Amino acid sequence: NAGVTQTPKFQVLKTGQSMTLQCAQDMNHNSMYWYRQDPGMGLRLIYYSASEGTTDKGEVPNGYNVSRLNKREFSLRLESAAPSQTSVYFCASRLDLITGELFFGEGSRLTVL
């Protein structure tokens, strides 16, 4: 049971390049999330998917797009990377609203030059 798996773990991009962060969970969870973590800023929600087929904006969605490919997978895309998107990105999932606990992936460290 791998839990939440993110790829890649590290990535360096040049300004303007695009990339996709992949996330998969094997816990049969309904809800999936993308957060970014910056020093002193805590965890800020980028996008989330309450269930397969739905996605919604979080606190800081600008510059990002997401796809809930199926129940297991939730990807985050940067179409034109900017230095302000340098961050550690965490994917997370949880069974449902009632259960509550978020399970996080190991994180993906992205640097945009």
For other proteins, the binding residues (CB under 8 A) are 31, 33, 35, 40-45, 48, 50, 56, 58-59, 90, 97-98, 100-102, 104-107
Q: Give the Cα separation of 19 and 108 in Å (integer).
A: 12
Rounded-to-integer distance, Cα 91 and Cα 106, Å:
8
Backbone angles phi, psi at 85, to 5 degrees: -95, 5
Tell me the β-bridge partners of 65. 77
Q: Closer CB to other proteins, residue 28 or residue 40?
A: 40
Distance of closest approach, residue 18 Cβ to other proteins, in angstroms: 26
Query: Which CB atom, from 14 or from 42, has the smaller least distance to other proteins?
Result: 42
Min dist. Cβ of residue 49 to other proteins (A): 9
**Peptide bond before residue 61 is cis, with ω within 30 degrees of 0:** no
Q: Which is nearer to other proteins, 25 or 81 (CB)?
A: 25
* Closest by Cα among 110, 98, 95 to 32: 95
CB of 26 vs other proteins, minimal distance in Å: 16
Smallest gap from Cβ 58 to other proteins, in A, equals 6
